[in-house]
Chains A and B, each alone.
Chain A
């Protein structure tokens, strides 16, 4: 009896600290139509607590529609969405869900005439967040985002990046468990975008559950544990690493003193995935570059080629993304 108790405690602790996965978002066969037009078609994906999931897709892919449904802002046509153990289509549940989530919408939507502080205070109160903690959180996030000394200025006087930071702070003031961010770095200057990404990475360390919409592949790759490639349907869902393996687009680029057909024939003879030439450059696509590159070099050298340099192009996920989205 006594020996069993700690075990139960450990299990409980694990579930609370997220070591054992706890499902925070469960989306099954989610479909949304506008009239006859299907904006989102049979999406199925889950998020465990503490995961940062990127919905990656071009304009019009259905990212905003999906997030709005998950935030109980608009209805779904069919399928099911659960946040925590709550159902978005239940009225009472929807109210509880809105209380536990934070949203960074695609438009900042702040009150321009009010100060940054007044904006955050208003929203914190609408979230029914205790006044004392609210004041602490406003200070914490405005300081974190480098806006504390501008807290009393009207938001209308802020730059785009500053407004987006206030929007991010607004999504955080009530300490939500789950965060939805709809293209939070779109159209920002690189510095503001970096600040926002850094905050998201901090939040990831704090084990918050985050759904991030983005059309920026690099951003998704850097920030997310898992990525869902969306184009009305979910084309692929996996970790950035596994997605990269899906279609290895990595290429080895070899620069030669001189290019001729004999060399090209020797390289082709090894049957790599792809061979392209550009002047004295030869780009070879391979399934496993680490293993295959030496054989290619040997073939080039033995057919009389002189190698100047060997390098790798690594924008692999981009190739996959473009390939997936175009299909």
Chain B
């Protein structure tokens, strides 16, 4: 595997993404919006409802999970774009004709979707932490973030969720011919995450527990490995050129 080759491909995909204004805007806007909206919500709850420290803390514990969901959702869109785009532009054949292996091309697609999403998720998370600390420090008495839970989300939860979204997008878009379709079918793969969120909201699973966050991350890692194997099997030149529609 020559990563520099994958990098050339990823850079090309990033350049295309920059030209697609709506796509680039969406990738930046959602995490940043969340990073600003969630702290404001907390501020509202503190000021208007004069919530107790315990309520504020439990809210704060669950909010980072939003970012895990977003980390899986956004790359779904980009990677569907990446493959469906190449399919509709019929650029896969000349690409496969270059001296590049299937694995290198697939890795390029992974990097090109993973990087922009992770960068913008990190930006959003950082703004979220910064603003939250600023708005809650007087109530809680100390800076709530950074903490261990956030570290798990940063280093494990978000990146794994992101790769999970990328692989799902790549896999689904090999079967579907339009970006919307790939995105919608791919969104089904996020049902377990939504379910977890609802379980968290109704108090069955604590999403602020570090142990639970670690278990969720491990589950995502397993899903990532399975999805990678699946996309590796789908993404071989013979089937791309003779079976993909």
Contacts and interface: CB of A to CB of B under 8 A. Distances in A.
Interface size class of B (residues with CB under 8 A): 20 to 34
B3 to A, nearest CB: 14
B99 interface: yes
Contact of B99 (A95, A113, A122): A95
A123 B237 contact: no
A123 B90 contact: no
Contacts of A114: 12, 15-16, 19
A118 B93 CA distance: 18
Given A74-B241, A110-B91, A123-B94, A128 B99 contact: yes
Contacts of B98: 98, 123, 126-127
B9 A126 contact: yes
A15 B242 CA distance: 38
A98 B242 contact: no
A307 interface: no
Nearest to A100: B99
A324 to B, nearest CB: 28
Interface in B58-91: 89-91
Contacts, number: 74
A111 interface: yes
B232 interface: no
B147 to A, nearest CB: 42
Contacts of A112: 89
A161 to B, nearest CB: 17
B97 A98 contact: yes
B89 A111 contact: yes
Contacts of B97: 71, 73, 98, 101, 103, 105
Given A110-B89, A112-B89, A128-B99, A122 B20 contact: no
A154 B94 CA distance: 18
A151 interface: no
B242 A111 contact: no
Nearest to A167: B94
Nearest to B20: A113
A101 B97 CA distance: 9
Interface string A86-122: 0000000001101101010101111111100010001
B100 A109 contact: no
Given A95-B101, A105-B93, A111 B8 contact: no
Contacts of A122: 8, 12
A75 B99 contact: no
B92 interface: yes
Contacts of A98: 97-100
B96 interface: yes
A262 interface: no
Given A103-B93, A109-B89, A114-B15, 7 more contacts: A73-B241, A74-B237, A98-B97, A103-B94, A108-B90, A118-B15, A127-B99
Interface of B: 5, 8-9, 12, 15-16, 19-20, 89-101, 237-238, 241-242
